[in-house]
């Protein structure tokens, strides 16, 4: 296999380990995929026999499959029911190179409680602030997205956003790279956790977003070049999580 495709598979396995290690992916539920450039196919972490869970994802678990759920198994690995989330997003959003669908706990509770994720903190994490300022859409249904029709409904609720909460279900994130999608998902889950904790601390009172003057100040900083620094921040943060995986469960095993 082409070395760049092999690198992509390795990165999906690694991103899955990172997301599982941080509680953003569960034991076996949820999936990370990447478009195979120039094709109508993707790589996706699938579940197979002798499965030990997403924290233990290896390169061999990342299989090549089409955008449509036409088969139930690929190379002996099970194709997930919610594959249409990935396939239909790749069709509808050409900028999506990577798709994550996950069931992170705090995002789940926030949607059940009807709590909006708003720009409630600033310098603590300016990267997610700029994202929260744009508003984070919520798909109001809790159904399994197991058909192109339901995926279309979900994609319509997502609008032109790169992420969407799903009520009583979880979260879907798209982006240009495995790194960007992984790190955005981790930050969204942190925003959901802080939103829940702060709401609890105020006895259930709705949280006020930051004052407009602070939002304006951050909008100015973003315009002045925070974006340029973002790639470095992402690189360092990604490296941090890769090292944590290497030091704990270990890096994904290569394909046999
Ligand atoms: Zn799901």
CA-CA distance, 70 to 199, in Å (whole number)?
44
CA-CA distance, 92 to 171, in Å (whole number)?
18
Total domains present in the chain:
1
Closest listed residue to residue 89, CA positions, set 38, 163, 26: 163
> Does residue 254 fall inside a structural domain?
no
Give me the pLDDT at residue 113, please: 96
Q: How far is the CA of 103 from the centre of ligand 1 (A)?
A: 6
Q: What is the CATH number of the domain that holds 225?
A: 3.40.225.10
CA-CA distance, 48 to 60, in Å (whole number)?
10
> Does residue 227 fall inside a structural domain?
yes
Q: Is residue 224 scored above 70 in pLDDT?
A: no
DSSP SS3 for 101: strand
β-partners of residue 164 are: 172
Q: How far is the CA of 203 from the centre of ligand 1 (A)?
A: 30
> Does residue 132 fall inside a structural domain?
yes
CA-CA distance, 23 to 92, in Å (whole number)?
29
Confidence band of 130 (pLDDT split at 50, 70, 90): confident
Q: Is residue 222 scored above 80 in pLDDT?
A: no
The per-residue pLDDT for range 153-171, each reduced to its tens digit, is 999 999 999 999 999 999 9
**Strand duo 31-35 + 73-74: pairing:** unpaired
The per-residue pLDDT for range 97-106, each reduced to its tens digit, is 999 999 999 9
> Does residue 44 fall inside a structural domain?
yes
Q: How far is the CA of 170 from the centre of ligand 1 (A)?
A: 6
Q: What are phi and psi of 134, to 5 degrees?
A: -80, -15
Angstrom CA distances, 219 to 13, 129, 224, stand at 35, 10, 9
> Does residue 256 fall inside a structural domain?
no
| Ligand 1 ion: nearby residues, β-carbon < 5 Å | 82
The per-residue pLDDT for range 158-211, each reduced to its tens digit, is 999 999 999 999 999 999 999 999 999 999 999 999 999 999 999 998 899 999
Q: Are 44 and 210 in contact (CB under 8 A)?
A: no
Q: Are 74 and 46 in contact (CB under 8 A)?
A: yes
Angstrom CA distances, 40 to 13, 54, 125, 253, stand at 21, 25, 36, 27
82, 88, 179, 189: the active-site residue: 82
Confidence band of 2 (pLDDT split at 50, 70, 90): confident
Catalytic status, residue 116: no
* Cβ contacts of 202 within 8 Å, gap of 6 or more: none
DSSP SS3 for 156: helix
Q: How far is the CA of 95 from the centre of ligand 1 (A)?
A: 22
Predicted TM-score (pTM) of the model is 0.95
The per-residue pLDDT for range 245-256, each reduced to its tens digit, is 999 999 999 986
Q: How far is the CA of 91 from the centre of ligand 1 (A)?
A: 19
> Does residue 16 fall inside a structural domain?
yes
The per-residue pLDDT for range 45-90, each reduced to its tens digit, is 999 978 999 999 999 999 999 999 899 999 999 999 999 999 999 9
Q: Is residue 231 scored above 80 in pLDDT?
A: no
Please report which helix (H) or strand (E) contains residue 65, including its range: strand 62-66
Q: Are 88 and 148 in contact (CB under 8 A)?
A: yes
> Does residue 188 fall inside a structural domain?
yes
Q: How far is the CA of 232 from the centre of ligand 1 (A)?
A: 31
3-state helix, strand, coil in the chain (%, to 5): 50, 15, 40
| Selected residue with higher pLDDT from 129 and 7 | 7
Confidence band of 3 (pLDDT split at 50, 70, 90): confident
| Selected residue with higher pLDDT from 234 and 74 | 74
> Does residue 255 fall inside a structural domain?
no
Alpha-carbon 66 to chain mean position? 20
Q: How far is the CA of 169 from the centre of ligand 1 (A)?
A: 6
Range of the domain at 53: 3-246
Q: How far is the CA of 30 from the centre of ligand 1 (A)?
A: 6
Give me the pLDDT at residue 191, please: 97
CA-CA distance, 45 to 13, in Å (whole number)?
7
């Amino acid at each position: 296999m082409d070395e760049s495709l092999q690198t992509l598979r390795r990165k999906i396995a690694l991103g899955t380990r990172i997301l599982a290690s941080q509680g953003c992916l569960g034991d076996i539920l949820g999936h990370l995929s990447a478009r195979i450039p120039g094709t109508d196919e993707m790589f996706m972490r699938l579940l197979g026999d002798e499965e030990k869970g997403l924290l233990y994802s290896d390169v061999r678990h990342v299989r090549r499959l089409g955008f449509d759920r036409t088969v139930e198994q690929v190379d002996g690995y099970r194709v997930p029911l919610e594959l249409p989330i990935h396939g239909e997003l790749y069709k509808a959003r050409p900028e999506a190179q990577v798709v994550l669908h996950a069931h992170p706990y705090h995002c789940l509770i926030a949607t059940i409680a009807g709590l909006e994720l708003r720009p409630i903190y600033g310098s603590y994490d300016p990267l997610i602030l700029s994202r929260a300022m744009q508003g984070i859409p919520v798909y109001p249904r809790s159904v399994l997205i197991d058909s192109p029709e339901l995926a279309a409904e979900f994609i319509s609720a997502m609008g032109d956003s790169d992420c969407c909460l799903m009520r009583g279900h979880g979260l879907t994130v798209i982006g240009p790279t495995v790194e960007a999608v992984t790190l955005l998902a981790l930050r969204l889950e942190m925003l959901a956790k802080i939103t829940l904790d702060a709401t609890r601390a105020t006895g259930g009172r709705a949280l006020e977003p930051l004052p407009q003057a602070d939002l304006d100040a951050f909008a100015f900083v973003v315009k002045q070049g925070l974006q340029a620094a973002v790639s470095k921040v992402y690189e360092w943060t990604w490296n941090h999580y890769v090292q944590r995986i290497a030091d704990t469960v270990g890096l994904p095993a290569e394909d046999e």
